[in-house]
């Protein structure tokens, strides 16, 4: 499988420059900000369902710029769980050897949702937990 992750910024930048006719830095910033949304803003009153966030600790861009701020904003929400694990450098998919056991726990209908999430290795951000 080929990952498009290394190319996403150039794709978005090219779209903004061409489709939005952003021919200078100010127009570019306005166009980009109108399309890129902080997903946390979609939940002004807190999460509406359980959320289990998996984050590769080797991702030196998304961990501090996206995952960290979202976790910080909702760290007291009882519906938020996270799992941090090193899967390699940069933005990578969850390895199948990790992903499939997580899905198996999520599909366990013999336990409630928070228990299934915790059984899959996710923790509340306010709980001390291991980082693999």
Distance CA 124, CA 121 (A): 10
Distance CA 27, CA 68 (A): 29
- Top-confidence residue, 12 or 119: 119
DSSP 3-state assignment of 81? Answer: strand
* Strand runs labelled E in the chain: 51-56, 80-85
Q: Cα–chain-centroid distance for residue 5? A: 14
pLDDT band with cut points at 50, 70 and 90 for residue 1: very low
Can you give the pLDDT at residue 37? 61
Distance CA 22, CA 24 (A): 6
pLDDT tens track for 53-103: 888 888 887 777 777 888 888 889 999 999 988 888 887 888 889 989 999
Q: Is the pTM of this model over 0.95?
A: no
């Amino acid at each position: 499988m080929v990952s498009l992750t290394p190319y996403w910024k150039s794709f978005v930048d090219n779209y903004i420059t061409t489709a939005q006719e952003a021919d200078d830095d100010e127009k570019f910033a306005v166009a980009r900000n109108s399309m890129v949304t902080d997903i946390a803003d979609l939940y002004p009153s807190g999460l509406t369902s359980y959320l289990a966030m998996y984050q590769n600790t080797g991702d030196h861009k998304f961990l501090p710029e996206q995952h960290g701020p979202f976790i910080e904003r909702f760290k007291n929400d009882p519906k938020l769980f996270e799992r941090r694990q090193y899967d390699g450098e940069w933005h990578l998919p969850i390895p199948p050897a990790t992903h499939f056991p997580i899905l198996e726990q999520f599909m366990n209908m013999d336990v409630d949702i928070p228990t299934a999430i915790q059984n899959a290795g996710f923790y509340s951000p306010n709980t001390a937990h291991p980082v693999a």
